[in-house]
Structure 1
Amino acid sequence: MSQSTTVWYGVNLASERLGAKALFANDDFFAPKERMLQDSDPVFIPGKYDDNGKWMDGWETRRKREQGYDYCIVQLAVSGRINKVEIDTRHFTGNFAPAAMLEACFSDGAPTETTVWTPLTETVALEGNTQKLVDIESNEVYTHIRLNIYPDGGVARLRVYGQPEVEWDGLASQSLDLLAMEVGGRAISANDEHFGTKHNLNLPGKGLNMGDGWETRRRREPGNDWVILALGHRGDIEEIIIDTAFFKGNFADACSIQVADVQNLPESTLAAQSLYWQELLPKSKLGADQEHSFKEALESVGPITHLRVNIFPDGGISRIRAIGKPVL
C-alpha cells in the first residue's frame, strides 16, 4: 500500500471552524460574506433562488454601476504567518470577480479607517469556476486580511494558509492539546486515506459525520494502517484521546502509539524511522462511536515532537488529542 501524498499548504487561518470571522463587506447583496469562509467545498444548487436572486455558495456583490471596487475584511482564527492563499471561484461563471488583491494587518482589535494595510499580493487575474493559488513571500505575523475584488462579483471560498503564531511562554504550565490545529499541530503522512483525510484528525470540536475523520480502505492483506502526526510544540504528554465518533461498523478495532523527539529532520524520512520509535501507548482496544481516554496506560517517555498512531487492522478514527504541557 503506497504512502499518502495529500497536499498540505498549512493551517487555513481563515477557517470558519477554527474561528475566523468575516467582519465587514461593503456589499454582499447576492450572497453573504460569511459563506466565503466555510470549510466545506462550494456547491451549486440548480433552481435555488432567494429574495435577491440566484442562491450562490460564496460571497457575491451586486453589479457595480460606478467607479470603485468591493472588499471584505476577515479576522483570522488565530494570528499567524501566511505562506499561500487560495481564491476559489467554483460555480461562479458569468458572475465571478475578474481580479483580486489581498492586504493584511496586525491589530489587537477590529481594523478601523486608520488601519494601515500591507499588500500581500499584486492584483491577480481570476477566472470563473477555478481555484487560484497564490504564494505569499512574507515572514510577518498578521491578524486580519482584506480581500479586494475588482470591480465586483463573486468568490466562493477564501483560504489563507500559514503557521499559527502561539505565545508559548505563557502556556508553559498549562495542559492543552499540543496536537490541535490552532497551535500548529498537523498530520504529516499516512499509509492510506481512501475514505477520509488524515488532516481531519486534529480539527477543532467533535466530528460532524463519518466523513469528517480519517478512514482507510478495508485491508485484505496482513499488517496495519498508520498515520504520523507532528505536535505544535515539543511537550510532555499526559493524556491521549481517541474519538471514533460516527464510526460504527468501520471503526479501528485497536490502536497503539509510538513517539519520538526529533527535530530538523526531513519529513520524508519520518515514515521509515517511525518503525523504531518508542512506545507511548501499548496496543489498546477501541469501541464504536465513542471517545477513549488513555492516561494510566501511557508509558513514561519524556518530551516528544511526533506521534505515529497505528490502527489495527484498518478502519476509521474521528479525532486524536494529545494533552500535555509544552517543554520550552
Structure 2
Amino acid sequence: MSTPSAPFTELVNLASRLLGAGVVGTNEDTFADAENLLVAKPAEFRAHTFGHKGQIMDGWESRRRRGACAEQPHPTDEDHDWAIVRLGAAGVIRGVVVDTAHFTGNYPETGSVQGASIPGHPSPAEVEAAEWTDLVPRTALRGNTAHEFAVDNETRFTHVRLNIWPDGGVARLRVHGEVRPDPRELDGLSFDLAAQEYGGVAEAASDRYFSSPHNLNAPGRATVMGEGWETRRRRDKANDWVQIALAGGGEVLAAEVDTTHFVANAPGWADLVGYDAGAGGDPSADPDGWFELLPRTRLQPDTRHRFRLNADRPATHVRINVYPDGGLARLRLTGRLTEAGRAALALRWFNALPAAEADAALAEAGLTAAEATALTAARPLADAAATTAAVAALQPTDGPDGEHTSRRRAAIWRLLGI
C-alpha cells in the first residue's frame, strides 16, 4: 500500500523549471548533473546503461569522497556536497521533497535543506555568500525514497540549498509553497491573474481523475494532453469545475479557455463565474455570492478560445464550469489588480520579507531608517487598520508631528497601497 502524500505537495512547486527555476551552483556533480534535480517527470532507471563515468543515473550524483591522506582515508563528519537552486517564483515554503529514487548503494547518509532571500539578480558568488536559514535540519536519508519534510517558516525565500553528507545521489528536489510576488513589479500592468507565477492557485476541483487541476494555470503551453486537466466521464447530469484563487482581487477583463490536444474529450460548453471575498466572504460556503463573468458558451476541440468578459465587479476567485465533463489545457484570466487587491497582495508580501529587505523597502518608499525598523518589528500586520495603527504609533523624529504623519502615510501608500 502506498503512503499518502503530505498536504503541502498539492501546492505549487516553486522549484519548477516551468516557473524558471534553475541550479545556480554546486560543488560537485561529476557522476550526474545537478540540473536533473529539477526535471519535471519522475526519475527513471535503466539497468546496465553505462557512460564514460559509469552507470547513468537520472538525478544529481557526486563523486565518492576521500580523506586527506593514507592515514586518514575517510572524509570528516563535516565534509559534504551541495547544490543551490534559484526558485522559479519567490514564496513561502511549506514543504520539500528530497527524492532518492533508484539510488540504493549510493544515496547520502544525511541531508538538509536551507533557504535564502536574495533580491535582484545575484551572481553565483553572491548566492553562495548569502545568509542561509535552516528549513530542514540535517536528518537521516534512505535509499530509493521520496522524503517529505514539512517546513514551518513564514519567510519569503528566493533560493534553496540542498546539502548531502558525505556524498552520493539525489534524484529530484521539489519545493512546495505559496508564491509571494513583489507588488511593485505588477503596478500599472495587466497580467494573468490566475497564473501560478503570480500566486494564482487552483484550490478546488470537482474531479482530478486523469490529471491535476494545477495544470490549468501552469506556465507555458501544454505540449500533450497529459499536461492539462482532464476528468473522468460523467454518468450523471451534473458538471465538472475548477475553482481558482486569483493572485489578488482584480478586474478580470479577458479569458482564454484552451482545449488544445483535447480532441475527442473536450467539454461541449463552459462558463465562468467570479466571487469577491474582499469583504471576508467564503466562496466555498456562499453559493449565492457567485456572479457571471462569461455565460455558458460552446467550445470547440483542440482550440484556444478568447473571450472579453464583463468586468463590472472585482473578483478574488474564479470558477470555470465545463459541461458535462472533459479536459482543458489551460485557463488564462487577463486583468488588473484593484486597489484593495493590490493592498492585500502587498501586505502578504511585506509580512513575509526578511527584516533587512522589509527595512530597505520601507526606506526606499520614504520612511527613515528608525521608522522602517520599528514598523518591520510590528509585523505581522493583519490588515489596513493594523498597518495604520502601527504607523501612528511611530515616534516623531523631527519637525511637526503632522508632517511626520503625512510623510509616513505617503510612504506606506507607495509601498503597500494602504
For normalisation by structure 1, the TM-score amounts to 0.92
Partners of 1:248 and 1:191 in 2: CA distance = 21
Cα offset, 1:149, TM superposition: 0.2
Partners of 1:16 and 1:55 in 2: CA distance = 22
Q: 2:212 aligns with which of 197, 200, 217?
A: 197
Task: Establish whether residue 164 from structure 1 lines up as the match of residue 179 from structure 2.
Answer: yes
Task: Establish whether residue 61 from structure 1 lines up as the match of residue 47 from structure 2.
Answer: no
Partner in structure 2 of residue 146 of structure 1: 161
Q: Does the 8 A contact of 2:273 with 2:290 survive in 1?
A: yes
Task: Establish whether residue 283 from structure 1 lines up as the match of residue 296 from structure 2.
Answer: yes
Cα offset, 1:114, TM superposition: 3.4
Partner in structure 2 of residue 100 of structure 1: 111
Partners of 1:216 and 1:95 in 2: CA distance = 40
Q: 1:319 aligns with which of 323, 330, 343?
A: 330
Partners of 2:280 and 2:149 in 1: CA distance = 27
Task: Establish whether residue 91 from structure 1 lines up as the match of residue 102 from structure 2.
Answer: yes
Partner in structure 1 of residue 382 of structure 2: none
Partner in structure 1 of residue 42 of structure 2: 41
Task: Establish whether residue 115 from structure 1 lines up as the match of residue 136 from structure 2.
Answer: no
Partner in structure 1 of residue 235 of structure 2: 220
Q: Does the 8 A contact of 2:90 with 2:158 survive in 1?
A: yes
Q: 2:202 aligns with which of 187, 202, 205?
A: 187
Partners of 2:211 and 2:101 in 1: CA distance = 22
Q: Does the 8 A contact of 2:179 with 2:197 survive in 1?
A: yes
**Letter of the 1:134 counterpart:** F
Which structure shows the bigger proportion of residues in strand conformation?
Answer: 1
1:17-28 paired onto structure 2 within 5 Å? 17-28=18-29
Partners of 2:179 and 2:158 in 1: CA distance = 10
Between the aligned residues of both structures, percent identity stands at: 40
Cα offset, 1:169, TM superposition: 3.8
Which structure shows the bigger proportion of residues in helix conformation?
Answer: 2
Partner in structure 1 of residue 352 of structure 2: none
**Letter of the 2:39 counterpart:** Q
Would the alpha carbon gap of residues 324 and 97 (structure 1) be closer, same or farther in structure 2, given more than 3 Å must change? Answer: same
Task: Establish whether residue 237 from structure 1 lines up as the match of residue 248 from structure 2.
Answer: no
Q: Does the 8 A contact of 1:228 with 1:271 survive in 2?
A: no
Aligned residues: 320
Partners of 1:182 and 1:198 in 2: CA distance = 16
Cα offset, 1:48, TM superposition: 2.5
Partner in structure 2 of residue 260 of structure 1: 275
Partners of 1:138 and 1:181 in 2: CA distance = 21
Q: Which has the higher contact order (CA 8 A, sep 6+)?
A: 1
Partner in structure 1 of residue 13 of structure 2: 12
Partners of 2:279 and 2:244 in 1: CA distance = 15
What per-residue deviation string (whole Å, max 9, x for no partner) do you get for residues 157-211 of structure 1? 1111222221224423211001110111011111111111101111100012111
Q: Which moved more, 1:74-83 or 1:108-117?
A: 108-117
Cα offset, 1:311, TM superposition: 0.3
Point out where structure 2 has 5 or more consecutive residues left out of the alignment.
68-74, 343-418
